[in-house]
Structure 1
């Protein structure tokens, strides 16, 4: 459990820098260079993610069950993850409708992903991982939107986005979903979502 908690703490501290100290982040990027900052950020994120996965693998050997999710929750989770992947695609592809309308589609993707895994898993480790991601994404989204309102940020209308960009986000979601469901989830986590 310790490795899991350490990984989560590192991940959330790192990903909350922009949330709690945006000026420090911008100053550090200007001082050290954006590329160097992103490389360090990426490396620490990979380490934190590895800790989370390793910790989860260890905790799964002796699970502490809090509830037993019904079978239908897995089907709903699969659908929610597909929608979450569309939001990921919308965040990665420039000028998509979702990015233009909500501003932070990646945080919406995290919310959906975390909620989907919370309803379809019932162990203490699942509650710790997915509950913390859900809370973090809700708080982050609220803070960023409040900052945008104070700064007078105006979100674009959907007419400004293009069909090809939205189509790319959709194709990304479908390809990613099939890859995760039929291969990656089993290969990385050790559990098939189809079972």
Structure 2
């Protein structure tokens, strides 16, 4: 559990460093970006190793059928991750699509995983995303982007979402967690 917690904390602080200590971050310049990227890679490795190695300590039992809601929320989450890249209709209407996608992803996983490690991982990343949104919003008003591709961007995002969702589901099945069985345990 230590590695998992350390990974979540490193992820959070590496992302929040720019917001919490902008002067220190600016002094680091471009080499600082590389250092932050290295810390982020290390945090992901720690989260994966820590989560996979954590003992199963149940806290609550997911309700039957929550896997189906998880799947729907995951489609929404993956779509939100692509909003900025494909610049569809939500691009000019939504300030934090990726961070919102992280929150949806976290909630989806907490619906089907009621153990301590899942609460640390998914709950911790949801808290980080909420804090990040609050800090970004407090930093100043949103300069709403203009343009975008409209429905063409949405179509591109939807196609990418379905492909990526299929890959994610395939990896989960390969790891022994079939997302299409309706409930997990």
Fold match (TM-score > 0.5): yes
Match of 2:24 in 1: 24
Give the gaps of 5 or more residues in structure 1.
none
CA contact (8 A) 1:91 1:104 kept: no
Segments of structure 2 that go 5 or more residues without pairing to the other structure are none
Task: Please tell me whether the aligned partners of residues 2 and 55 of structure 1 are also in contact (alpha carbons under 8 angstroms).
Answer: yes
- Is 2:54 aligned against 1:68? no
> 2: CA distance between counterparts of 1:85 and 1:13?
24
Shift of 1:46: 1.6
Which residue of 88, 97, 109 corresponds with 1:117? 109
1:73 Cα offset (Å)? 1.2
- Measured against aligned partners, the alpha-carbon deviations of 1:49-105 in whole angstroms (never above 9, x if no partner) come to 11111111111xx31111110222111011111101011111333x33323212221
Matches within 5 A, 1:28-39: 28-29=28-29, 33=30, 36-39=31-34
Which residue is 1:192 aligned to? 178
CA–CA distance in structure 1, aligned partners of residues 179 and 73 of structure 2: 13
Query: Which residue is 2:160 aligned to?
Result: 172
Where does residue 12 of structure 2 map in the other structure? 12
Residue 91 of structure 1 corresponds to 84
Matched position secondary structure for 1:191: coil
How much does 1:190 deviate? 4.7
Aligned to 2:43: 48
Q: Distance in 2 between matches of 1:87 and 1:79?
A: 13
Scaled by the length of structure 2, the TM-score of the pair is 0.86
Partner SS for 1:102: coil
Aligned to 1:155: 144
Distance 1:176-1:21 versus aligned 2 partners, 3 A rule? same
Given the superposition, is the C-alpha separation of residues 185 and 25 from structure 1 closer, same or farther in structure 2, using an over 3 Å criterion?
farther
Q: Closer, same or farther in 2 for the Cα pair 1:174/1:132, shift >3 Å? A: same
CA distance in 2 between partners of 1:96 and 1:23 (Å): 34
Question: In 1, distance between residues paired with 2:51 and 2:92?
Answer: 35
Q: CA deviation at 1:127?
A: 0.9
Superposed CA RMSD in Å reads: 2.0
TM-score, structure 1 normalization: 0.82
Structure with more contact order per residue of length (Cα contacts < 8 Å, sep ≥ 6) = 2
Size of the aligned set, in residue pairs, is 180
Offset at 1:156?
A: 4.2
Closer, same or farther in 2 for the Cα pair 1:22/1:170, shift >3 Å? farther
